[in-house]
Structure 1
Amino acid sequence: MVLAVGMLIPVGYVVATVLELGWDALAPLIFRPRVGELLVNTVLLLVLGVPTTIVLGVGGAWLVERTDLPGRRYFSVLLVAPLAIPAFVSSYGWASAIPSIQGLWGGLLVATLAYYPLVYLPALATMRGLDPALEESARSLGLGSWAVFGRVILPQLRLAILGGGLIVALHLLAEYGAFAFIRFDTFTTAIVVAYQSTFAGSSAAALGVVLATLCLVLLVIEAGARGRHRYARVGSGSPQPPELTKLGRAKPIALAALVVLGVAATIVPLVSVVRWLGASDAGVFAEMPAALLQTLLLAGGGAIGAVVVAFPVAWLSGRYPGRLSKWLEGPYYVASSLPAIIVALALVTVTLRLVPGLYQTPATVIAAYVIVFLPRALVSLRAGIAQVPESLEEAARSLGSSPIVARSRVTVPLLVPAIAAGGALVALGAANELTATLLLAPTGTRTLATQFWSAASSIDYPGAAPYALLLILLSIPAVALMFTQTRGRAR
């Protein structure tokens, strides 16, 4: 409960600002044409973007794991590669390749290409852990390949789809850099502009209220759809590998679709970065080691902090699902759905008023990373805990082990993949964070993301390219770790 209250600091900041304004001053700021335009843009982005990422993620996982697609091993790696390219770098690549790209369709293109791996990875991990015997039984009862997928495989992907879809939706609500690059207005970009012009102005606070409401609606939908189903099983299931679906005439279409997806999500941004890298000034490289070190330290601190903070609520949600766990889990998502600039300004206000010694220190930056990226760790831990059978822990206790010993020796080792994946996801996000780092970091702090943004927003594409490349290279080990952990679910 203490952690949940701490996560609500940014929400409290927005609410306090709204209370100071009052409804008479707030209503005209909410019910105006500009807010309606932003609401249409944001809702369309969610309605079109989230299902698209789910189709791409689940469809890609099924093709590489359950079909006779040629080169499945290579495509399984290619499909996760976009996760190593920050969304604003992908937007930078597309904007420099096609300067006319902008608006809703440009935003959808960049966002879906950048975020579909957040659904693909958990879907692939879950699919590799399914018992092939269930599919064999369905086929023996006369079901075809598509019926097996729809009636046996897809229902068991519920947690992966809902969790991944929720993360994608929260990213779409909070994304700034990728949409600012292609001049697509959402609530987040409008809030950033409003705060930059009026600092803690009433207009930005009003927009923050609408954005927080949208997040609350998403949380209610996800919690209701998730239910209280259990997905754990004891044993490795059938020793036989799953039967692969024959694609037949659809094989060339599937191959072409995956190639196009890989080129659009990975090759286009990389080619743009390499092209501008050739025109970079040698002086840019001299500042990169310091930026790299500061990025590693801050991102690592954020990853550790997020895992520690997420674990208690993930345990309650996985082991004791119910109304209390949902109420404690909600603040984590509500706070992280707010744009990073609101989180940063809330922490600025709190530190200046209550603990001035923490203002503009690494601790405040790490706290912002924990709040913003906590769902990445929480979803991963929750899914991991849900698939660890309680019977294993009970067996250890029946042999004389205390509850703490049983959990530390039986449950925790089985959660290492989920902990590593959640920490890696948080570190990825923290390394790429822009607005909170700019506002909260001590004077003189320069991360790879802020240095990239400083150059790219000034249309200095050659100066931004080295930092973009280093961000991608830095992300590769974390993405490789997450991809490797999916093999831990295999039989």
Structure 2
Amino acid sequence: MALSRRSRERSQTEGGGLAALVAPVLLVLIAWPLSFIVLQAIFPEIGAGSLARPFALVSETLSDPRLVEWTFNTLKLGLGVMVGSFVVGVPLGMLRGLFKVPGGGLWDVLFTVPFTIPPYIAALGWIFALQPHGYLDQIAGFNVGKFLFSYWGVVFVMTLNVFPVVYFAVSRSVAAISGRYLEAARVCGAAPSVSFRRILLPLTAPAIAASLLLVFAMSIEEFGTPAVLAARSGFLVLVTGVEQRLSDYPIDLPGAAMLSIVLVMLALAAFVGQHWIVNRRDTGAMSGKPSRQELMELGRYKPLVLAGFAAVATVGTMAPIASVLITASTRTISGGLAADNLSLDNFRGLADQTSGAMEALLTSFSLGIGTALITGLVGVLTALVTVRQKTRMARVLDFLSLVPNTIPGVVIAVGLILAWTQPWLPLTVYNTPWVLVFAYCCLLLPYPVRYATTAVRQMGSGLEDAARVFGARPVTLILRIVLPLILPSMVAAMLLVFAVASRELVATILLAPLGTETIATFIWNQFEQGSVGLGMAMSSVAILVTLSVPALAALVSRRFAATASDKARAGTQSA
């Protein structure tokens, strides 16, 4: 009893020490830049080190008619993508969860691909496929360029990028519902429409609503697709408005800060709504007894369902990737799809030292690796504090580590610009590559924290308590017990962070120092300069990296799990 009490006391002491270590990191990475967004909106001259004229420009910014237009367009875009994702994701998810869809696993993989491709790259692929004299025009003799460069075109492209959020939420929710409910309804004579309306729809409504609100938040935060497509038709939203105020002369920092606050409020409202829907009531359909749901046969509707799945996979996955690869493999855009115009010159150009492509790849990979290592370490330490400690400090740190999930990337970039350009700072990371590391860590820290928190909770505290009883130091405890047990989860999280950080766009465009080029800025600059083929060749590399990382994560996790199983089996046999 005394040993147990002493172990708990040591755990509390160690947790306090870890909290003191983690708190400054989270304050610098997250709280510091976000606080300056609010300060800049209130004190327009804080950039000069002055707190004069508080609230002087708030009314001017809020009365700007463009703010109303941009906010309305943002809401309109978010709602349009929500409707599109509902139309595409809900029927496919219902069919996947209820019926024996041939090749179900293949469709799941294909529908994951659009979600992993950088949205701005997908948008560029659609431009070359659907614009006048594009690939559709060359093959079929018509184009839909007017549709693509409009509000509806942006909704179309963004829907294909994010509908998997709804598809997987609905299909998993339907699959989790015990088959006995629908079977009981059929035994009692209920028509299929009644079973759907009275049983299936109420049980899946929370998953549908929560996933749609997540889609809304993702849509209003997205910069690449509106910047590539909508800006050409004059359809500007808050994210492009923020970028415009930071890039057009004269730079309007207070206005950018105020627009960022409006955007954060919209995103927070969506996340709060999602949280309320998920937690307001229990809609569980699982009983205490294990049950296996028998998927229903499609019968005569099988060809129609397969045609629907194939159409979405073709349009959403294969078409944009094919457009990117074809553009990267042509000598000139004007040469079209002619056989003599096909070449690997653009891919060879990536290896040319004068193009700067290899330097951009090396920079992106270096930044991605650095970000993955930092967020992995901070994620583990934060998880140990928030899971093992039940103090107010632990709750504050948990909130700080997860709040970037609700903050658009453009807002994080604005906060970093404001925070690290203060004249009174003795040292600054602005205009150095470290500002990109700070931005990526702030944006992506929630992923390792979530992975580590889940893994630490599953691990329990028994092994740590036993180590403390035998006098293990905190560092030894983390290195010898905690890290080996949660390593598979952390490797997966760090690979995900690497994949996203190496091709991040909006924060990189706003923060990259002069002379520093990454994969995202290289692609963006090539299109600005008219070197389309070279930009698409780099886009192909970005897609390859993005698609290979999840497979690598699964392989590593499986290997770690197999190794752990072998060790456990060997230990059991020796005992």
* 1:196 CA displacement: 0.4
Partners in 2 of 1:154 and 1:416 — Cα distance? Answer: 39
Partners in 2 of 1:411 and 1:54 — Cα distance? Answer: 42
Is contact 1:11–1:335 with CA below 8 Å preserved after alignment?
no
* 1:364 CA displacement: 2.5
* In the alignment, structure 1 residue 296 sits paired with structure 2 residue 365: yes
* 1:414 CA displacement: 8.0
Is contact 2:376–2:493 with CA below 8 Å preserved after alignment?
yes
Partners in 1 of 2:417 and 2:505 — Cα distance? Answer: 16
**Unaligned 5+ runs, structure 1:** none
Residues 32-78 of structure 1: per-residue CA shift (max 9 Å, x gap): 32111111111122223245446645654554455211222321221
Partners in 2 of 1:190 and 1:38 — Cα distance? Answer: 7
Partners in 2 of 1:62 and 1:418 — Cα distance? Answer: 30
* In the alignment, structure 1 residue 283 sits paired with structure 2 residue 315: no
**Which residue of 26, 31, 45 maps to 1:8?**
31
**Which residue of 205, 225, 229 maps to 2:257?**
205
Partners in 1 of 2:296 and 2:554 — Cα distance? Answer: 23
Partners in 2 of 1:74 and 1:120 — Cα distance? Answer: 14
* In the alignment, structure 1 residue 221 sits paired with structure 2 residue 273: yes
Partners in 2 of 1:36 and 1:326 — Cα distance? Answer: 36
Change (3 A) 1:317 1:303: same
Q: 286-295 or 48-57, which moves further after superposition?
A: 48-57
Is contact 2:33–2:419 with CA below 8 Å preserved after alignment?
no
**Which residue of 223, 228, 247 maps to 1:176?**
223
Q: Amino acid of the residue matched to residue 226 of structure 1? A: V
Query: Which residue matches 1:135?
Result: 178
For the residue of structure 1 that corresponds to 2:294, the secondary structure is coil
Q: Amino acid of the residue matched to residue 178 of structure 2? A: E
* 1:181 CA displacement: 0.8
**Which residue of 103, 108, 112 maps to 2:150?**
103
Aligned length: 477
Change (3 A) 1:272 1:398: closer
Map 1:389-408 → 2, pairs under 5 A:
393=460, 396=462
* 1:210 CA displacement: 1.0
**Which residue of 437, 440, 457 maps to 1:366?**
437
**Which residue of 189, 201, 212 maps to 2:240?**
189
Partners in 1 of 2:391 and 2:163 — Cα distance? Answer: 29
Change (3 A) 1:371 1:357: closer
Q: 398-407 or 462-471, which moves further after superposition?
A: 398-407
TM-score by structure 2 length?
0.68
Partners in 2 of 1:160 and 1:424 — Cα distance? Answer: 29
Q: Amino acid of the residue matched to residue 300 of structure 1? A: I
Query: Which residue matches 2:307?
Result: 256
Change (3 A) 1:443 1:196: closer
Change (3 A) 1:208 1:442: closer
Query: Which residue matches 1:20?
Result: 43
Is contact 1:80–1:120 with CA below 8 Å preserved after alignment?
no
**Which residue of 51, 67, 81 maps to 2:99?**
67
Is contact 1:285–1:466 with CA below 8 Å preserved after alignment?
no
* Structure index of larger Rg: 2
* 1:451 CA displacement: 0.6
Partners in 1 of 2:395 and 2:279 — Cα distance? Answer: 11
* 1:211 CA displacement: 1.0
* 1:193 CA displacement: 0.8
Query: Which residue matches 1:467?
Result: 538
Partners in 2 of 1:402 and 1:64 — Cα distance? Answer: 49
Partners in 1 of 2:162 and 2:388 — Cα distance? Answer: 29
Partners in 2 of 1:414 and 1:249 — Cα distance? Answer: 49
Q: Amino acid of the residue matched to residue 278 of structure 2? A: R
Is contact 1:292–1:447 with CA below 8 Å preserved after alignment?
yes
Query: Which residue matches 2:113?
Result: 81
**Unaligned 5+ runs, structure 2:** 1-22, 45-53, 132-144, 332-345, 560-575
Is contact 1:171–1:337 with CA below 8 Å preserved after alignment?
no
* 1:373 CA displacement: 3.0
Partners in 2 of 1:23 and 1:181 — Cα distance? Answer: 34
Partners in 2 of 1:203 and 1:111 — Cα distance? Answer: 27
Is contact 1:17–1:202 with CA below 8 Å preserved after alignment?
yes
* 1:255 CA displacement: 1.7
* 1:172 CA displacement: 2.0
Change (3 A) 1:306 1:257: farther
Partners in 2 of 1:409 and 1:152 — Cα distance? Answer: 48
Is contact 2:350–2:358 with CA below 8 Å preserved after alignment?
no
* 1:152 CA displacement: 7.4
Change (3 A) 1:440 1:42: closer
Pairwise CA RMSD: 4.6
Query: Which residue matches 1:306?
Result: 375
Percent identical residues:
23
Residues 341-378 of structure 1: per-residue CA shift (max 9 Å, x gap): 44334334434543535334443212101222344455
Change (3 A) 1:261 1:320: farther
Q: Amino acid of the residue matched to residue 184 of structure 2? A: L
* 1:437 CA displacement: 2.3
